[in-house]
Structure 1
Amino acid sequence: MCDIFPAFFFVRKRFMADNTQKFTVFDFFRLYPDDDTCLEAIFQLRYGHLTTCPNCGRARKRFHRIKARKCYECRACHHQLYPLAGTPLAGSTTKLTVWFFAIYLFATSRNGVSAKELQRQLGVTYKTAWRMGQQIRELMVAQEATDLQGVVEVDEALLGGVARGGKRGWGAANKTCLLGMIERGGQVLVIPVEKRNGATILPLVQEHVQPGTVVNTDEFQIYDKLPSMGYGHQTVVHSKYQWAQGEAHTNSIEGYWSNLKKSIRGTHTFVSPKHLPRYLAEFSFRHNHRQQPAQMFEKLLEGCSRCH
């Protein structure tokens, strides 16, 4: 049995507050050396707000760890709290240190983490590595940007394998159409769409971009309706090789498309349409927290501590 306020928790809290630019593997293993420390972190994230026992009302500091059950017990009434219950980690036979290191790899990688890479790094089976990767990506889906503002660039892109023969470009087989919306210097949101038309795209813009925002697009005619929807609208004509006109351009979202496609080709080779939304959320999440790897890790850990 042990107290629930070990010195590591205060070291961890101070580290997360002070380190926004780096989070090295040495920092990780210093903060999370074993399963007990990892469980303590989940307990603090999930029940750290409690001041008293939810059963008897005694001070929360009287809780102590029952190692054999991965739970904490009140010394007064013996009420038990299970930090992993209802979370993505519940019922997993994989060690918590392995889970935490997988989350660390996702938080610090620039181009994503494949299942084969997880398998090599963690020493688990491919099936386990693939499942862990998908569960971590689900945590990123839950934290996507939803309220874009300022100057927002909107554009569409095609993603998918090469179609042999048949139609090329928009409407080609084996391609998925993506709608991208990015704040200049800020967050990005990418959504797969079934059709590249106003009835599909404009409601998504209205849902995720604040009214009054200046929206930059190419010459695609569906965006001509943006002013009547309460948005400012600036356009560049790509068909005439116009890439910028004063402050009007879509270079930020074009650059994002380039990085996304290179990362998918280099890391995963191919992503099926069925699982694509998770991978898009992963790259968006990484972009949105690109300057704060320690905070990115912390947000994923907070997601792991929530009931699902």
Structure 2
Amino acid sequence: MEQLRWNGNVVSPFDEASKVYKTARGYKCKNTGKYFNVRTQTLFDNTKIELQSWFIAIYLVTGHKKGISSLQLGRDLNVTQKTAWFMLQRIRNCFGIDAAETDIDNNNKLGGSGIAVEVDDTIVGGKVKNMTNKKRKSIAENKNERWSNKTTMVGYLERQGRLRLQAVNGYHFIPDLVRANVDAESVLMTDTANTFYKVGKDFAYHGVVDHGKKQYTDGINSTNGIEGVFSLFDRMVIGIYHYVSPKHLQKYANEFSFRYNSRKTSDLVRFNTLLSNCTNRLTYNQLTK
């Protein structure tokens, strides 16, 4: 872990310019006088769980094609479900290596000159017919509740390239999200939704397929790739997690995107990539507030 984080040159997390001393208590930052170790200001900071258990959890989460439930991880590590869930959420918090943003840097946009990027949206949430009698009765009395557990998710997929998924909040304007995440020189591929017609003119080319007319491909125009991604995401949620709350949906989207983007690499490479990105520490209070 020290090799991945510092590559032989230890850097103080409190002052990068400071000289560092090695002591019996770990490392000491000269400028601040604070002690630290390789776990400081990382996913593993202030944890009572052994690093070996954390490494096993990371290996399992990154290696399983559709993820692993907290109940199963708890059995594998011999810890409680609550502990396993907290570990999983901490790990998911580090998956956002290429997460979508509303004002993403130009150098990190998807696509580019002549590159096709498929964009589509989907609704994540349970069907009314699968809800309890009490919930179905409540929805029948108040139609607005039908959407109370549903969240829109936008997907961006480079053909033969990267994937991004973004859970959309009420204040997000989807055309702005598309402009922020896709390079203007790209070949944009969408369906006929008005949302995408508004933004299509801002790109080098806008290819459209009309699903209402049973059209799924028209020459190079197609959104079959991103729709396949949504199908795989649904399999993950339905088969492994069963339910994902709107509050935590983005973390699950980042987890899925990480595995999709690294699907052609080895388990070891995925493990090391995540371990190199584990600088985000999530506390239990932050997670449950």
Residue in structure 1 matching 2:246, options 273, 277, 294 = 273
Which position in structure 2 is the counterpart of 1:14? none
CA contact (8 A) 2:117 2:188 kept: yes
Length, aligned pairs only: 252
Over residues 260-282 of structure 1, what are the superposed CA-to-partner deviations in whole Å (9 max), with x where a residue is unaligned? 00111000011111111111110
1:159 pairs with 2:124: yes
1:45 pairs with 2:4: yes
SS in 1 for 2:277: helix
Identity %: 34
1:221 pairs with 2:190: no
Which position in structure 1 is the counterpart of 2:105? none
Gap change, CA 1:254 and 1:227, over 3 Å in 2? closer
Which position in structure 1 is the counterpart of 2:275? 301
Aligned partner letter, 2:183: Q
Which position in structure 1 is the counterpart of 2:236? 263
1:180 pairs with 2:155: yes
Which position in structure 2 is the counterpart of 1:113? 68
Over residues 58-83 of structure 1, what are the superposed CA-to-partner deviations in whole Å (9 max), with x where a residue is unaligned? xx9xx58x5xx5x3589xxxx96511
SS in 2 for 1:274: helix
CA apart distance, 1:114: 1.2
Aligned partner letter, 1:90: D
CA contact (8 A) 2:119 2:226 kept: yes
Greater Rg over alpha carbons, structure? 1
Gap change, CA 1:242 and 1:178, over 3 Å in 2? same
Aligned partner letter, 2:54: W
Aligned partner letter, 2:7: G
Over residues 238-271 of structure 1, what are the superposed CA-to-partner deviations in whole Å (9 max), with x where a residue is unaligned? 0000010011100001101111001110000111
Aligned partner letter, 1:47: W
Q: What residue ranges of structure 2 are gaps of 5+ in the alignment?
A: 101-107, 129-135, 283-289
- Take 2:149 and 2:200, find their aligned partners in 1: how far apart are those partners? 34
Aligned partner letter, 1:100: F
CA contact (8 A) 2:188 2:203 kept: no
SS in 1 for 2:201: helix
- Take 1:52 and 1:160, find their aligned partners in 2: how far apart are those partners? 44
Which position in structure 2 is the counterpart of 1:7? none
SS in 2 for 1:304: coil
- Take 1:304 and 1:272, find their aligned partners in 2: how far apart are those partners? 23
CA contact (8 A) 1:83 1:305 kept: no
Aligned partner letter, 1:159: V
CA contact (8 A) 1:153 1:215 kept: yes
Which position in structure 1 is the counterpart of 2:132? none
SS in 1 for 2:39: coil
Which position in structure 2 is the counterpart of 1:234? 207
TM-score by length of 1: 0.73
